[in-house]
Chains A and B, each alone.
Chain A
Amino acid sequence: MIEYGAIYPEIILILFAVAIPALHLLIKSSRALAGISLVGILASAGMVVYYMVGDYPAIIGDPSAPLIVFDALAAVFSLVFLSVALVVVLASARYVEKDRHLAEYYTLIMMSTAGMMLVASAQDLLTIYVGIEIASMATYALVAFRKKDKRGSEAAVKYVIVGGLSSALSLYGISLLYGITGTSSLAGINEVLAAQGVELTTLLALALLVAGFGFKIAIAPFHMWAPDVYEGAPTPVSAFLAAGSKKMGLVVMFKLFLVGLIAIQANWDVVLGIVAILTMTIGNVVALSQTNMKRMLAYSSVAQAGYMLMAIPLATVVGDYAITGGIFHIITHAFMKSGAFIVVAALAYVAIGESVADYKGLGKRAPFLAFSMAIFMFALAGIPPLSGFMSKVVLLSASVEAAEITQWMIWLGVALVLNSALSLYYYVRVIKYMYVEKGETEARIKVPIALTAAIAICMVATVALGLFFDPVLELCSEAARTLFPALG
């Protein structure tokens, strides 16, 4: 008899996801459907919290080579995914109300979230792969949700093609690793590699996995799809991709490298460091010359992925502290980035364009939206006392600490600081347009309450995480420690 407790949160979510299309026969209102989805998301989150305060459920699979372990790491990431889903559903309630296939929209979001949560608790490359595919398939459809919209359709096609390629690459990488080690369990792979050492095939498998999973995170040079897709997709979906789907890729990377490949860390730490620096630099430099808000945010999230990725090489030296920083940045980024996207969505809802120039004079026209956007921009740039600052500080101090043992790692910190300074340019430009430049009209803008609520949630989280970070850092640290069983 197998205990399925570890996937109860996913099961709850999927039950609701399946029920919604059926309910749609009775209920036509988008808002009601969104409400039901919210109940599902909250129920699932309740389950996660129940596990967190009580005992974690039994693992699924053979204890020596488990398939699914719902531990602190899985719990924290599940909560991140669920919060993003919550905010996105809240923001979508009015955004998609005039579209067809409403019910499917919510179903897809919840399905995708369930896939991500599965990835967060998976301990086996195959389970991870299955989870990623569940999440991805749903997002392909979400990007193409407005099929009459040419930009959206084009974006979806690109996304499917590049996604398919990446999926193939990662599957190829997985099969090579299986061929070399005879197992697909992360812990098992590590044991075998520790004994066998590295062959050229191992390196090829590694590169394929970096490309395959890196596609999800949008790390350079596998990021090129992201701006096109984020721009074309319905804006709440862009938020979902940047704040949710990207984080799924990161948790896979954490597990793959720190659990599955830690034995051969000398082979990959420098390379991941280079990729991280390259990712943050390319993301920021290209963002400088973007005039479309969604593309700018897309490049910005490429850059932010670089910051998060640097936790992995740092963790080879300072262990859980670096990952604590990485997870904390993932959490803060989830709120500030989805917040920013939803402000764009809210403005699009009242027919304000996506170009930065369209934001002229918003400070007068929509004080709340402009103010919250300013908060998100400052947080993304890392201005104290907002959350983005605190999470960068942890990463930076991790790099300084790591540099005492492994000198080159200081460059990760230097790159972080220089890139943050650089990024300030394009973040503050938005604020300048909103507050300094005069708009053509001063007519006030009214935004639906659900969108306002979604933005408010993100803004409160962005401010609060910067001020009262202790409990959250504690949680991140607990989650990070699960990757380093030796620490207990």
Chain B
Amino acid sequence: MTFAEYAWLIPIFPLIAFVVVGFLGNRLFKNWEGGAPIAIGMTAISLVLSLAVAFEALTTGTGTPFIQSLEWIVVQGGEFAFTFNMGIYIDNLTALMLIVVSFVATLVVIYSLGYMHEEGEKKRRYYAVISLFISVMLGLVLASNFLQMFIFWELVGLCSYLLIGFWNTRPSAASAAKKAFLVTRIGDIMFMIGLFVLFVGFQGNLDFAYIFDNVDAFVGGNELLTFGTLMLFGGAVGKSAQFPLHDWLPDAMEGPTTVSALIHAATMVKAGVYLVARSYPVMVETPDTMLVIAFIGGFTAIFAATMALNNTNIKRVLAYSTISQLGYMFLALGAGGYIFAQQPEFNVGYAAGTFHLMNHAFFKALLFLSAGAVIHAVHTEDMRLMGGLSKKLKITSLVMLIGCLSIAGIPPFSGFWSKDLVLEAAFAGIEYNSLFILLYAFGLITAFMTAFYMFRLWFLTFSGEPRDKHAYEHAHEAPAVMWVPLALLAILAFGSGFAFLFGFESTLVPGLMDFHPHEAGPIDLLTAVFTNVLTYASIAAAVLGIGLAYMMYKKRAIDPARFTSGSVGKTLSNVLLARYGFTKGYDWIGLKVVYGTAKVVDFIDRRLIDGLINGISAGLIRSGNFLRRAQTGFVQSYAAVIVVGVSLIVILLFLVGGVI
């Protein structure tokens, strides 16, 4: 028996939770925390199965993926024939995602028991939708072809929309939900165009297995393929909130913090990274696309980090940080692919991107959930009203410190290992394209800024004197259902990086020919890392960032106000707070361009098309009335019509066929 054969059950369990909790009524779950036990139980079963499947794939992996599929839509028709399948595709990347998604998901639903306790009847909706999300996210990960992936891609988007707008009576939440939905929709459309290109190019076969083994069979030339992969990446840009479609993610923080942790940090926003990593065998055929991916990633990393520098909302800072870290992942994947296209042999890019994906999922989920514990305690997200909370929230402040050290990249915390690899991948690109000098610099500066804003956040929240006495008085440590998941995540945020020493690089490889990772023991790897001067550069950047934050927000040796007092500083600060004007830009596009077009289309539809239709229908009804009046009700006239009819038919028959 192999576990993989039962992998299709993984998304089924949370789906059952969705159906049971979502449709069996409020009364049943009134005393049941809105169905939370069912959601937790089903997600936990999924977790166990996921771990079994992942363990099996990672240990017995022969390099060939496990595939199971059913025919879904079969179209016969000679040269236009095609078949869509529904199935599962399990390789090491799938295994990694299964672990990340099901593990974080389970902890988040458990944590929700405490965090969402006071939501009353709305809880049922929450647990139903979050179960649905977990189900479709796992489905996305397991999908065996691009179309199936796209379907789940849309479904996770729907769940994201529903959960961002969870507090649907709050106008800001409602509009944030709409914004997230519409902006990612732009990416989805590009994804769809990419699918069309692949569909045409691979002649109706969208199966991963087929495409990856037959990349050369693409019909339509390299330009078309480049366009196709660019469009696929466009989908990733929307879903993973990369520049210029990044602006929905900070607004998405209107949802409950658990949702931010699960969907907008650990899993759904990773779908874009996953898409690029998944389609690597196709993507590496188009180095231009890879360069674009690396550039967008690197630029987004630094661009988003700047906005985190002076924000005072604890969740927003984490949101910008997420965007920035996702940029790292794209930078690594893009750099790795670009290098591979120039020189088809092993490089660290792919491993760096996926490794950072995993580590980030753990430490960012930890950071969000810790922030949630803080918000739960003081009922505000504004860091200006916090301060000194480490005395009240001992566990929270400790685990959050672990998260901060990890994301800042201090050895041996997990973030250190993967960020180091990302920067190494970017640096390796310099040999092939001098653009990577810039991208490496972006990465390094981002590392500095990350360390700075994360510790700014930590100091503002936990150290110093409480700035809001009332909130401080009422603050209390989170209950066990909340801090136990935090502790588990903290262990991973500390330790998941050690996977690097135990062969992460050589296990997580894309399905590429000529991609032969060198097997190396832990000692060799350690030596390699710590004899590399780049390592010390990134550690230095992190330490500098932490040091600056310490001086400004702990020792108060440097007054933060100094930066914003001058006119240049003030302008810059306002630009950052206004998110470089992207919010307004989106609104302008929405209001002027889209709404304007809609009005024109509306005019054409109502006046021209409807007018035509109404004219035709009026004419038909009039002729109906006329014919109705011909129906006199007198049987004599019916008989007369019959006789006339017979004569007409004889004439017609004669005219058409004639006689011989």
Contacts and interface: CB of A to CB of B under 8 A. Distances in A.
Bound pair (A, B): yes
Interface of A: 157-158, 161-162, 165-166, 169, 197-200, 202-204, 206-208, 210-211, 215, 221-222, 224-225, 227-228, 264, 266-268, 270-271, 274-275, 282, 285-290, 422, 425
B654 interface: yes
B620 A422 contact: yes
B20 interface: no
6 contacts: A161-B635, A197-B659, A204-B650, A211-B642, A222-B641, A267-B658
Interface in B87-130: none
Contacts of B656: 267-268, 270-271
Contact of A203 (B628, B639, B653): B653
Contact of B621 (A169, A202, A289): A289
B639 A165 contact: yes
B168 interface: no
A262 to B, nearest CB: 13
A271 B649 contact: yes
Contact of A165 (B623, B642, B652, B660): B642
B486 to A, nearest CB: 50
Contacts of B633: 228
Interface string B623-660: 11101100101010111011011111110111011111
Interface residues of B, number: 31
B100 to A, nearest CB: 40
B617 interface: yes
The 4 closest A-B pairs by CB, nearest first: A267-B657, A197-B660, A221-B645, A207-B649
Given A200-B654, A203-B654, A267-B657, A208 B646 contact: yes
A264 B657 contact: yes
B624 A289 contact: yes
Nearest to B634: A158
Contact of A158 (B638, B648, B650): B638
User: Which of B628, B653, B660 counts the most chain A CB atoms within 10 A?
Assistant: B653
Given A203-B650, A268-B657, A221 B642 contact: yes
A367 to B, nearest CB: 20
Contacts of B620: 285, 288, 422
A207 B657 contact: no
B635 A271 contact: no
A300 to B, nearest CB: 13
Contacts of B623: 285
A211 B657 contact: no
B229 to A, nearest CB: 36
A285 B624 contact: yes
Nearest to A197: B660
Interface in B602-617: 617
Nearest to B652: A271
A288 B644 CA distance: 25
Nearest to A210: B649
B659 A162 contact: no
Contacts of A275: 649
A16 B383 CA distance: 90
B20 to A, nearest CB: 27
B645 A271 contact: no
Nearest to B641: A221
A224 B646 contact: no
B659 A200 contact: yes
Contacts of A206: 649, 653
Contacts of B653: 203, 206-207, 267-268, 271
Residue among B620, B633, B646, B659 having the largest count of chain A Cβ atoms under 10 Å: B646
B626 to A, nearest CB: 9
Nearest to A208: B646
A396 to B, nearest CB: 17
Nearest to A214: B645
A210 B650 CA distance: 10
A158 B632 CA distance: 12
Nearest to A266: B657
Contacts of A289: 621, 624-625, 628
A405 to B, nearest CB: 18
A56 to B, nearest CB: 34
Nearest to B653: A203
Contacts of A169: 642, 646
Nearest to B621: A288
Nearest to B650: A207
Given A287-B624, A288-B621, A288-B624, A166 B642 contact: yes
Of listed A197, A208, A266, A288, residue having the most chain B CB within 10 A: A288
Contacts of A166: 642
Contacts of A270: 656-657
A286 B624 contact: yes
A221 B627 CA distance: 12
A294 to B, nearest CB: 14
Nearest to A173: B646
A161 B642 CA distance: 12
A201 to B, nearest CB: 9
B636 to A, nearest CB: 9
A282 B649 CA distance: 17
Given A211-B645, A222-B645, A268-B653, A198 B659 contact: yes
A286 B627 contact: yes
A188 to B, nearest CB: 20
Contacts of A224: 631, 637-638, 641
Contacts of A228: 631, 633
A422 to B, nearest CB: 7
Given A165-B642, A199-B659, 14 more contacts: A157-B635, A158-B635, A162-B638, A197-B659, A198-B657, A198-B659, A211-B642, A215-B642, A221-B642, A224-B637, A225-B635, A271-B649, A286-B631, A288-B620
B627 A282 contact: yes
B448 to A, nearest CB: 60
A314 B623 CA distance: 29
A197 B659 CA distance: 8
Contacts of B624: 285-289
A36 B65 CA distance: 66
Nearest to A289: B624
A422 B621 CA distance: 10
B646 A198 contact: no
Contacts of A197: 659-660
A265 B659 CA distance: 12
B617 A425 contact: yes
B618 to A, nearest CB: 11
Contacts of A267: 653, 656-658
A199 B646 CA distance: 17
